[in-house]
Amino acid sequence: MDVTSQYLGRLILGMVTMAGAASLQAQAADGSTSDEYGRTLSALERYRVLADQDDGEILPATKKPVEPGAHYTGVPRVRRLLSLLGDLPVGGIPGDADVYDATLVAAVKRFQTRHGLEPDGRLGKATLAQLNTPLSFRVRQLELALERWGQLPYDPSRRAILLNLPEFRLRAFDTGHQPALEMKIVIGRARGLQTPLLSSELDSVLFRPYWNVPLSIQRKELVPHIKRDPSYISKNDFELVTSKGEVVEQDEVSDTLLAQLRSGKLHLRQRRGPKNSLGLVKFVFPNEYDVYMHDTPAKSLFARARRDFSHGCIRLERATDLAEWVLSEESGWPRERIEETMEGTESTSVKLKHPIPVRTIYVTAMVGENGEVHFFEDIYGQDAALEQELAGDQPADQATSDEPGPHPRE
């Protein structure tokens, strides 16, 4: 994008922001905007002031991460910046000029948490990169977030589920846009298997689902495993089925069997139960990408700060809690019955009487109810695409992956 396009894009964003400020009170009065819009607008105004106040000094690179208690020439700059941003309490007792002391470590951990990093308190490459990011860039993130909130359909009279992809987080809202539930999620890999931006309605919950393996995953990932280890099928609770769903008994892994799996004449299906890749419950909302939300046995991934590990579907940190919330307005589905059904032996599908709106969104600057701002990496390149679209270069929904278009999902 050339200099002229960049200027036009920022000019348009500035105009959008001014219009938002002028009409926010009216929007809030008629219920056409969410609380997030107002909070983002306030944070944007604050960060514009901070960007003007910051001296912009660049921290020196290090060969190894700076550990707590170590000497580092960039300590004064870190202290100034984090005091400006509010991560370091105002009036704290300054330590030695270049010692990375405990008070500053605690402030860095807060900064890391707010910027989607592992809060380990070490000044490593990723943390230094975030500390060296100009506050003018944070202003731009907030401008783009404001643009996205302004475009988001909003009906406070209905319950809703929002999944913010770069934040790796799900939020469920009761009527009146009242926060009801929040949890971590795992989304599609940034390279080639991105979770799409979509709008749909959750209409059914399936307990103890089978996993019918998509042919692309079967060919590229599972067949090589089976070829190396013939016991892979049984060890992972897979069974062989025909295109009609008929189970095929096969004791020996032969070249013929592998060829049938590659061609799609035979399919792999994972049996219901705790080893199933979809876990014990699946949440279905119709969409062209065949994406859905589901439980997972791979719980350890939720401890990671960055969580783009799936083939495109959305894995849930606390699927039982979501099932309880989703079914809370359905007669006869208390948590006890949900847990019993998940631990049962058969698949059970529940059709919702009142479908719930589900939207995947892409906001890299989230403002909490307390005004604290969290920033996230533009892992799918959607912010860059929106900025180009506002400058008139390309549509915002242009695919940014190296394999554009819908992909087979989990």
Query: Is the Cβ–Cβ distance between 37 and 24 less than 8 Å?
Result: yes
Query: Is the Cβ–Cβ distance between 380 and 183 less than 8 Å?
Result: no
The catalytically annotated residue of 115, 177, 267, 294 is 294
Active site residue 313: yes
The catalytically annotated residue of 313, 354, 374, 407 is 313
Nearest CA to 269 out of 222, 313, 326, 312 is that of: 222
Task: Give the C-alpha separation, 64 to 80, whole Å.
Answer: 22
Number of Cβ within a 10 Å radius of residue 244: 5
Nearest CA to 48 out of 94, 83, 17, 16 is that of: 17
Task: Give the C-alpha separation, 94 to 104, whole Å.
Answer: 9
What helix, strand, coil percent values describe the chain, rounded to 5?
40, 20, 45
Task: Give the C-alpha separation, 181 to 325, whole Å.
Answer: 8
352-362 b/e (C-beta count within 10 Å ≥ 16 → b): beebbbbbbbb
Which whole-number Å values give the CA distances from 355 to 128, 161, 182, 256, 330, in the listed order?
Answer: 45, 11, 19, 45, 11
Pairing of strands 314-316, 281-284: unpaired
Query: Is the Cβ–Cβ distance between 100 and 72 less than 8 Å?
Result: yes
Task: Give the C-alpha separation, 142 to 44, whole Å.
Answer: 6
Nearest CA to 57 out of 79, 30, 40 is that of: 79
Place of tokens 């003007």: 52
Catalytic residues: 294, 313
